[in-house]
Chains A and B, each alone.
Chain A
Amino acid sequence: MEPIRKEEIDDQACGSLAPKSKPCPRPKPGEAAGGCSFDGAQITLLPIMDAAHLVHGPVACAGNSWESRGSLSSGPSLSQYGFATDLSNNDIIFGGEKKLKDSIDYIAGRFAPPAIFVYATCVTALIGEDMDAVCKEASDRLGIPVVPVNSPGFVGSKNLGNRLAGDALLQYVIGTGEPELEASMGVNLIGEYNIAGEMWDIEKLMNQAGITLLSRITGDARYKEITWAHRAKANMVVCSRALLGLAKQMESKYGIPYFEGSFYGAKETTYSLRQMAYLLNDREMERRVDRLTEREENRLSHDLRPYRKILKGKKAVLYTGGVKSWSVISALKELGIQVVGVGTNKSSDEDVQRIADRVSDDTEYIPEGGASRIIKTVRERKADIMIAGGRNMYVAMKEQIPFVDINQERHKAYAGYEGLLRLAKELVDSIANPIWKLASSPAPWDKEDSYDR
């Protein structure tokens, strides 16, 4: 098997502690498309399902964004509520701290959440609200954690917001609690957000292998479980760009080893499970994992046979946002799909290296956003399908290009062995759909040859 993690760690990547030469790139006016840091912070923290998430600012930051993410919950749904301090003109002139305090009290009194996350926005940061102090005071008075998240939109990109949310977890949450059960064999999953329920497929596999999932950071998480994340024996970073820094800091602060892995594709899934068992340093567990992965891989390759037949030799253009391109490439390769173009705008240098290891030499790299660029690649390379995020979905539809959604808004889970099967089915259903033929043929009266009379 090819090694996934190179020994030298690129500490200048965006997700690292101290970005030196290459920080998160500055968004370009007039050419930028992605979300802001506030968006990024919410993506990371909203999957903590039982907590209340209060946005301190004018209403639209919350109003335009609540209920827009596909993180599923197995129980509590308080994080689906949209809370906003809804600042008015006067609040901005005279300060919104009083309103923030009242809002926190109101939420604590009515919903009794285990914790409240309070998000700064551009406006509250600009007028200099002392959110940390309000949160600390409320926290002391109410006896529940009130966590300030200082990630207003204008500090930078979405990725930076992910990182700042990780910092908030590290500073205020991780290490403040102790696990209920013995955690000697526990693993944390970092940067897995349970989009479309992917976490549940992963959890099932881990359970089958006897690996304890200690803390979910943060897909379908409960606040409490994150407080004891520092007791884990290993960390797995699922989305590297976002929370690698968190894993690095946990390594230096608590001595928890980490690895970067993925659950897209059978190979990567097997590798990730093996790596967990290896880091937990348990021979018996390693054997169990081997048996499990072998059985699952065999079953999968049997189930995949009919799909592989159709997908073999098909060409795809891949343009992911949050999901790591390289791991999806592995998954597609297993299905016999050739990736002829791949987006790299959100990949760290390390990720780009991993992509290069997995694609052929003539694959086109698409360094920056812009739907026209993606479509050009699809056309030039004669790709059969476009795999990208929801933002580009309707662009593809207009161009009548088969499309599979891979980002946070998607409705299907593609992780693990089951997930690869689902992905294969989705790809086949999309490519083989009758609509492509129907849409591309003209109306009868527009056809060139006229009726023979």
Chain B
Amino acid sequence: MNSVNSALKKAKFLEYIFRVVLGFAALFIGIILPIVIFIILYKEASLAIDKLGIINFITSTDWDPVAGKFGGLVPLVGTLIATFLATLIAAPISMGIAIFLTELSPNKLKPIFSTAIELLAAIPSIIYGMWGLFVVAPLFGEKVEPWLQDKLGSVPVIGKLFEGSPTGVDVLTTSLVLAIMIIPFMSSVVKDAFNMVPPIMKESAYALGATKWEVIKQVMIPITASGIAGGLILSIGRALGETMAVTFLAGNVNQIPHSLLDPFTTITVALANQFTEADTDIYLSSLYFLALILFIMSFIILYLSKLMLLQIEKKWKV
């Protein structure tokens, strides 16, 4: 009897240990890590926050390490422009791909097509950057952008977007490559959302004589709206934090671009290029300030995306 008791005790003790270890691992990655990262970034940025002030930092366009002047507006605006344009290109194409994968592709080929699209996400970011620099940028600089300038340059308003000398290292190329990188994320989220639509809803619409496109437009898109929004926001979050491809293609010029053919910079480009060169405390601290802003922005955006996706899951998942 005693031995049974001690065996039970031992089992209980082991159970306790496992629970603590597992729980700690989960707590670490799920709660502690993001908080610790926030604290570290905040602590490192605190010098810049104190000296430069939050409002002053995000509204100033000066970035002159030699003079000790640091303002984050230019990389901040650059990040937002690149993200906005990339999402603008990627969103309709991702929707099209999701529609193709769920409604058009023959069943047998579906896994092949969707794996192929997802492989776009598996290609390392540095490869996009290098390919962009050696292949896309020269092509755009020599052929596409002069052609665009020729065709659209004299159109009012739009023409302004194509001013400047085409080099291929600019907003347009960066946004296009960035768009290709985020397409797989958005299309796979939208595809999953489409797949969650109960077949009976589609079938009843078909029975009423609706065409395929009408079923997509009037049945599938409305009931997966929050999933589509979630995918959109997720891809925005991805684009915000993308580093290497942008570093190759943005040109790293500290100016707010006025045309699609201007070189520019983003938060990630500033970090990648200047972090190891920062020779004064305030310089490094300002870079950490940028990193902190990026961390908070992408955390909020990704959290919103998660909320949207949870909503659709709650609604349709059995």
Judge: A and B partners, yes or no: no
Taking Cβ atoms with an 8 Å cutoff, the residues of B that contact A are: none
